[in-house]
Amino acid sequence: MTACAYQVPANGDVQVQATVTLSEPDKAYLNAHYPNGGYVDGYLYVHAEDGTGKEMSIPLLAYYGNWSEPSMYDKYILLEDKYDATACGYVQNGYENFLGFKLKGSSATNYYMPNPFVDDAQYIPDRNAFSNTSTLAQASISLIRNTDNVAFFITNADTGEVYHLHHR
């Protein structure tokens, strides 16, 4: 980065544009260790030239990679990870990214699990089922970054038919 000199009057401001270029070894490291992209941080330093020795550091944060490529959801999925004692999310450890349902005649919302009546020792996908007497009551997601729009689709896995679409 090239050093530049700016004179800023008291209570004034100046706009500065900086370009940060990663070295080839830095890019190779990030590509090898963070295949979905990763954050790059650093500081832009401003030094007073009036002999006072005053200095200011301005933090920089950038993303190296394709921002749209990695998932925006926390990695913990209750349906699958409840059975893995080592599984943990980025936001919290516990009940994240889950569906809730209500049994016929009940106002209570239950977590959707393959077996809602017995706590199985492991996740058994073949037991996933949803009774036609139950109501899907909740879809809870944990985002790890901002989004402008999220769409929920309930589809038939075999035909692709969309049963329900919800934007938020």
The stretches of 17-127 forming alpha helices (DSSP H) are 24-33, 78-81
Q: What share of the chain in percent tops pLDDT 70?
A: 96
- DSSP class per residue in 58-72: EEEEEEES-TTSS-S
The predicted structure's pLDDT at residue 25: 96
In this model, does residue 3 exceed pLDDT 70?
no
User: Which residues are bridge partners to 132 per DSSP?
Assistant: none
Digit-coded pLDDT (tens) for 117-133? 787 888 888 888 878 89
Residue 27 corresponds to which tokens in the numbers above? Answer: 């890019």
Q: Report the distance separating Cα 141 and Cα 115, nearest Å.
A: 21
Average pLDDT of the segment spanning 101-126: 86
Query: Which pLDDT tens digit goes with each residue over 6-51?
Result: 788 889 988 888 788 999 999 999 999 998 888 899 998 888 888 8
pLDDT over 60 (residue 151): yes
pTM of the model: 0.57
Contacts of 120 (CB under 8 A, 6+ apart): 83, 114, 127
Q: Which of 85, 86, 87 is nearest to 74 (CA)?
A: 87
Q: Which of 135, 129, 130 is nearest to 104 (CA)?
A: 135
CA 151 centroid distance within chain: 15
Contact 48, 55 (CB under 8 A): yes
Contacts (Cβ under 8 Å, ≥6 apart) of 129: 114
pLDDT of residue 144: 84
Model confidence at 66, pLDDT cuts 50, 70, 90, reads: confident
